[in-house]
Chain A
């Protein structure tokens, strides 16, 4: 009986080894390990054996059964893996073909610049304020120390709607409005981005509509050196740590002293080249210490409070930072232009 079992095992394992399909394995399993299979038959005839032989043969039979079953499982796994490999092989694609495009939009370059400026100043504790684009003559001019017959009004010819209403020529009225709202007894630290309008004929460097970001800080004991420090921090963060700034005296009716800020040319680092027209510096923004009359009109006592203000043009900054060569690009919405400035 023992020999019979060993012969069965040998015979079954040989068949497993030869099997090439899962079906073959299944029939081997049924024919050797099934209820009607030869091993079951052997076990059934055990009654004829002596009590000493019975456990020995029983153990052997179970071992044979187990060995065959293990081999069957192992072979099954092998065949399954082969089948999978074959299937996957058949599924091969050309991975170099282009992907299915997803619609990708993006912000306008001006928005990109304005938000970057906003975020830098927010980091320095500034709030962001907005105001109307159709402004009163009072807030646009008078509250900013530009009375009706002031010659400096010539500097910014404006689009009037009525004698008292006009399209704002700068975002400074938002500063006057905010100071008015704070009623002269609270510090103001704000920037105001927005659209502004001037009577200019559109060409490569002029646009009747453009963007401005202005900033204002009013508090007790604000110094001109604070203006220099804050603008320096902004310039380094926005344009790069290696850039230097320089302030030059200038004139605006709403600031005294007034300044213009240049940054060192990124091409020549101050040596002078064609980009900076030989000066080594590029003009970026204007600003100054808030004029005492502006403070006064907004209800702040200029003896107690002082402040600084500045304003810059995102179009100009974009033109400098990215080399945009025509201001009209910002308003024609040419897809080829807009696509260049995606935030990735």
Chain B
């Protein structure tokens, strides 16, 4: 809402506040003033001039040579505007004037002829192009003939007006009118509101003799007033009205249209003017549109209607789409002489549906959608008639035709000072509350210790105690509320175990050198099914697609964090940041239904990706590429921290390197995978060797924890034995390790792999793996014989199960 302060002053005394002071007060009290604009500040030396003569320039076809009387002198001015003519009153920038954009006016010679100033267009005076009336858009502005020669144009054109742009929240539609803003400002400044005088002379001829109103859908249209104004002379509206409209961001058109717009802005009540002669009927019938009924609206579009939309008809065909737009068939034009003026209340929801269905949001529909003030509908009709009488020479017929079932009653809300104080934390007294109510302009009755407040219908947002609480608080001033802390019983805040563990996991990844990434949950359909862990693939029927995505790029909910993470790596590599280690903890979305009806399962996953060099040391020439065992080490470190016993099992997963990928299993359940991304997929992301994992963190956090338990510090020495086994290449070290663990007996404390050899000293197709066995008994020192027995039985069983032989 754009509020011209000069216009506002007609209803409320601003008490000499500067625009900035007023804006600050309005903002603090509840309506945010988003900006303060001036059309043109401090224009001097631009005055009204009378064009005494206008002849063609001797040396230029398109220029005119004018003698312009500006009061104390007559200036010769060269003017190129196509609409300049002798006898006009125009805006003359005299030499020395400075126009907006720091444009200085000087004496000059134009094609050999002296020119002492400039005749201005509205644009040159600072009015925005889109608000300039069309008839003067391509030329100079022409004043009405009664403008006084020599007068400063700033005043005449309202150029020094300050315009406040209000950012209205949806509840404050009452401020979608100058009167509504006036009430707000009056409450802030504690001054009265001066309402417009709508008294006028009417004709003894009755409107309701000439036109009848029939409403077939009163639930959508509880009030319809049809006013008739005859003998209209269509022409420009008065300059002051045009100025106000332009300041409010509305382009002036002609007096009839301007007056309906002016009243819309003044009262917040949209009106519609029909050319009664074109209306071609003496009855207004308001009804629901028929299915597939069509009409041509003012913008020359053919609209197909539905029964949840309302139309105004002449009894046979639609003449307006109620609350949204008129029809072309009854549009007011230059030749209109009788105006049928509609002032109506339309159901907000109906207008919302209708304007949305046709993509037509206008100053009118916006106000109807919010619900107009029931007590201002008729008033606005009268005001428009009065203005048509005054500024379009209209004859207003008495007794308009009215259909009225509108509830215009005022709500009552009861408040007590005690309850206000209890909710606000204040110590207000009754008399302070009554002062606030008076400022708001709300009537009230005091009953015992309660105020029974009558809420004016303009404030439809106020329905209950809490709404009044806000009114009192904001007029009292949020700044004056005390600072207190809750009185309720103290509670121990904190993180749940799950939340605390999540932080622990993050800290671990970071200490292991990984950076936390946060990627989008919405991805492409292609990426949503890429690099999905087998256990999720099995459960999720389809990735979940949005019903109306904005872009394909963010159309589908992810089943894996990895694709978007690879995209992040790719983004960095493209910017020459080649060495990357990222992790992310995030949700994936699993639906087990073909057609989604229920909320999907949301699982917390932990994913990581590594590429490039890891731990390089430039001056010692150390360079280590990230590899499978690095990322596996990081994951194993996490498992060790959380007491998770996991196993890794070679597997093949689409998008992953077929020989370098493993399932991650815990308690024999697959909880994720780890490995190198398939070189082809790597290439599609412009990545070199990249290693990833993706695991079910929810499972881990639910089943394990980092709670340490005490184990006695051993009093007896451990005994270690090394064993190097020669086996075929394809035998997995992990399998041998497991065989050893299962068969070595209870004295074996630990088995670790400390060497792997493949090369010239071995037969082709063979490798040698060295294990270190650690024996220990908490109760005594072990004998060599016991260890030897275990050692021999291990040799025996690995030979049997893996054809492994002791390497000589």
What 1/0 flags go to A118-136 for Cβ under 8 Å of B?
1001111111101011111
Across the interface, do B512 and A291 meet the contact criterion of CB distance under 8 Å?
Answer: no
Confirm or deny: A75 has a beta carbon within 8 angstroms of a beta carbon on chain B.
no
Across the interface, do B482 and A225 meet the contact criterion of CB distance under 8 Å?
Answer: yes
Complex interface: chain B residues within 8 A of A127 (CB): 491, 493-494, 496
Interface stretch, picked from B23-31, B639-647, B719-727, is B23-31
Which among A160, A306, A339 is the interface contact of B547 at CB below 8 angstroms? A160
Across the interface, do B169 and A333 meet the contact criterion of CB distance under 8 Å?
Answer: no
Complex interface: chain A residues within 8 A of B137 (CB): none
Which residue of chain B is the closest to A219 with respect to CB atoms?
B488
Confirm or deny: A97 has a beta carbon within 8 angstroms of a beta carbon on chain B.
yes
- Residues facing A in B131-174 (CB within 8 A) are 169-172
- Residues facing B in A104-127 (CB within 8 A) are 104-108, 110-111, 115, 118, 121-127
User: Measured between alpha carbons, how far is A208 from B581 in the docked complex, in Å?
Assistant: 26
Confirm or deny: A238 has a beta carbon within 8 angstroms of a beta carbon on chain B.
no
Confirm or deny: A251 has a beta carbon within 8 angstroms of a beta carbon on chain B.
yes
Confirm or deny: A201 has a beta carbon within 8 angstroms of a beta carbon on chain B.
yes
Interface stretch, picked from B530-538, B569-577, B768-776, is B569-577
Across the interface, do A107 and B352 meet the contact criterion of CB distance under 8 Å?
Answer: no
Interface stretch, picked from A30-38, A78-86, A151-159, A319-327, is A151-159
Given A124-B493, A229-B483, A161 and B544 touching (CB < 8 A)?
A: yes
Across the interface, do B466 and A291 meet the contact criterion of CB distance under 8 Å?
Answer: yes
Confirm or deny: A258 has a beta carbon within 8 angstroms of a beta carbon on chain B.
yes
Confirm or deny: B129 has a beta carbon within 8 angstroms of a beta carbon on chain A.
no
Across the interface, do A160 and B469 meet the contact criterion of CB distance under 8 Å?
Answer: no
Complex interface: chain A residues within 8 A of B691 (CB): none
Confirm or deny: A221 has a beta carbon within 8 angstroms of a beta carbon on chain B.
yes
Shortest distance between the CB of B603 and any CB in chain A (Å)? 11
Across the interface, do A161 and B474 meet the contact criterion of CB distance under 8 Å?
Answer: no
Across the interface, do B492 and A125 meet the contact criterion of CB distance under 8 Å?
Answer: yes
Shortest distance between the CB of A184 and any CB in chain B (Å)? 16
Complex interface: chain B residues within 8 A of A136 (CB): 599
Which residue of chain B is the closest to A281 with respect to CB atoms?
B27
User: Measured between alpha carbons, how far is A187 from B521 in the docked complex, in Å?
Assistant: 33
What 1/0 flags go to B474-509 for Cβ under 8 Å of A?
100011011111111111111110010001001001
What 1/0 flags go to B505-523 for Cβ under 8 Å of A?
0100111111111111110
Which residue of chain B is the closest to A338 with respect to CB atoms?
B515
Which among A135, A209, A292, A334 is the interface contact of B575 at CB below 8 angstroms? A334
User: Measured between alpha carbons, how far is A336 from B499 in the docked complex, in Å?
Assistant: 28
Across the interface, do B510 and A105 meet the contact criterion of CB distance under 8 Å?
Answer: yes
- Residues facing B in A214-245 (CB within 8 A) are 217, 219-226, 228-230, 232-233
Confirm or deny: A51 has a beta carbon within 8 angstroms of a beta carbon on chain B.
no
Which among A100, A197, A233 is the interface contact of B620 at CB below 8 angstroms? A100
User: Measured between alpha carbons, how far is A230 from B557 in the docked complex, in Å?
Assistant: 37
Complex interface: chain A residues within 8 A of B484 (CB): 223, 225-226, 228-229
Across the interface, do A208 and B550 meet the contact criterion of CB distance under 8 Å?
Answer: yes
Across the interface, do B577 and A246 meet the contact criterion of CB distance under 8 Å?
Answer: no
Confirm or deny: A48 has a beta carbon within 8 angstroms of a beta carbon on chain B.
no
Given A105-B510, A105-B515, A335 and B481 touching (CB < 8 A)?
A: no
User: Measured between alpha carbons, how far is A274 from B601 in the docked complex, in Å?
Assistant: 47
Across the interface, do B599 and A165 meet the contact criterion of CB distance under 8 Å?
Answer: yes
Across the interface, do B28 and A248 meet the contact criterion of CB distance under 8 Å?
Answer: yes
Complex interface: chain B residues within 8 A of A165 (CB): 596, 599
- Residues facing B in A70-93 (CB within 8 A) are none
Which residue of chain B is the closest to A224 with respect to CB atoms?
B424
Shortest distance between the CB of B448 and any CB in chain A (Å)? 19
Complex interface: chain A residues within 8 A of B627 (CB): none
Complex interface: chain A residues within 8 A of B731 (CB): none
Shortest distance between the CB of A68 and any CB in chain B (Å)? 45
Confirm or deny: B600 has a beta carbon within 8 angstroms of a beta carbon on chain A.
yes
- Residues facing B in A135-159 (CB within 8 A) are 135-136, 149, 151-152, 154-155, 159
User: Measured between alpha carbons, how far is A165 from B600 in the docked complex, in Å?
Assistant: 10
Which among B29, B568, B583, B602 is the interface contact of A134 at CB below 8 angstroms? B602
Across the interface, do A249 and B29 meet the contact criterion of CB distance under 8 Å?
Answer: yes
Across the interface, do B550 and A257 meet the contact criterion of CB distance under 8 Å?
Answer: no
User: Measured between alpha carbons, how far is A330 from B568 in the docked complex, in Å?
Assistant: 11
User: Measured between alpha carbons, how far is A121 from B617 in the docked complex, in Å?
Assistant: 43
Complex interface: chain A residues within 8 A of B470 (CB): 249, 256-258
Which residue of chain B is the closest to A246 with respect to CB atoms?
B479
Given A125-B493, A257-B474, A107 and B486 touching (CB < 8 A)?
A: no
Across the interface, do B464 and A292 meet the contact criterion of CB distance under 8 Å?
Answer: yes
Which residue of chain A is the closest to B473 with respect to CB atoms?
A257
User: Measured between alpha carbons, how far is A309 from B495 in the docked complex, in Å?
Assistant: 20
Which residue of chain B is the closest to A332 with respect to CB atoms?
B571
User: Measured between alpha carbons, how far is A279 from B572 in the docked complex, in Å?
Assistant: 39
Confirm or deny: B425 has a beta carbon within 8 angstroms of a beta carbon on chain A.
yes
User: Measured between alpha carbons, how far is A98 from B619 in the docked complex, in Å?
Assistant: 8
What 1/0 flags go to A181-203 for Cβ under 8 Å of B?
00000010100000101010100
User: Measured between alpha carbons, how far is A221 from B425 in the docked complex, in Å?
Assistant: 10
Which residue of chain A is the closest to B568 with respect to CB atoms?
A333
Confirm or deny: B349 has a beta carbon within 8 angstroms of a beta carbon on chain A.
yes
Across the interface, do A132 and B572 meet the contact criterion of CB distance under 8 Å?
Answer: no
Complex interface: chain B residues within 8 A of A128 (CB): 493-496, 499
Across the interface, do A101 and B169 meet the contact criterion of CB distance under 8 Å?
Answer: no
Shortest distance between the CB of B109 and any CB in chain A (Å)? 44
User: Measured between alpha carbons, how far is A118 from B494 in the docked complex, in Å?
Assistant: 9
Across the interface, do B517 and A108 meet the contact criterion of CB distance under 8 Å?
Answer: yes
Given A125-B492, A258-B470, A331 and B519 touching (CB < 8 A)?
A: yes
Complex interface: chain A residues within 8 A of B518 (CB): 108, 110-111, 330-331, 333
- Residues facing B in A256-307 (CB within 8 A) are 256-259, 289, 291-292, 306
Complex interface: chain A residues within 8 A of B583 (CB): 105
Across the interface, do A289 and B486 meet the contact criterion of CB distance under 8 Å?
Answer: no
Which residue of chain A is the closest to B577 with respect to CB atoms?
A335
Across the interface, do A251 and B171 meet the contact criterion of CB distance under 8 Å?
Answer: yes
Across the interface, do A221 and B487 meet the contact criterion of CB distance under 8 Å?
Answer: yes
Shortest distance between the CB of B187 and any CB in chain A (Å)? 12
Shortest distance between the CB of A311 and any CB in chain B (Å)? 15
Across the interface, do A217 and B550 meet the contact criterion of CB distance under 8 Å?
Answer: no
Confirm or deny: B426 has a beta carbon within 8 angstroms of a beta carbon on chain A.
yes
Binding site for A on B (CB under 8 A): 27-30, 32, 169-172, 349, 352, 369-370, 422-426, 464-467, 469-470, 473-474, 478-479, 481-496, 499, 503, 506, 509-522, 544-550, 554, 557, 565, 568, 571-572, 575, 577, 580-583, 587, 589, 596-597, 599-600, 602, 614-620, 622
Q: What are 20 A-to-B residue pairs whose CB atoms are below 8 Å?
A: A105-B510, A105-B511, A110-B518, A111-B506, A126-B493, A159-B546, A161-B557, A167-B546, A187-B488, A209-B521, A221-B422, A226-B487, A230-B485, A247-B478, A248-B478, A257-B469, A257-B473, A289-B469, A333-B518, A336-B575
Nearest first, the 6 A-B pairs at minimum CB distance are A103-B513, A225-B425, A251-B169, A257-B470, A249-B30, A223-B425
Assuming A103-B581, A201-B550, what are 20 further A-B pairs, CB within 8 angstroms? A97-B619, A105-B583, A121-B493, A122-B493, A124-B493, A125-B493, A134-B599, A136-B599, A159-B522, A167-B557, A187-B489, A187-B491, A189-B491, A225-B426, A226-B485, A257-B466, A257-B474, A289-B469, A333-B568, A338-B515
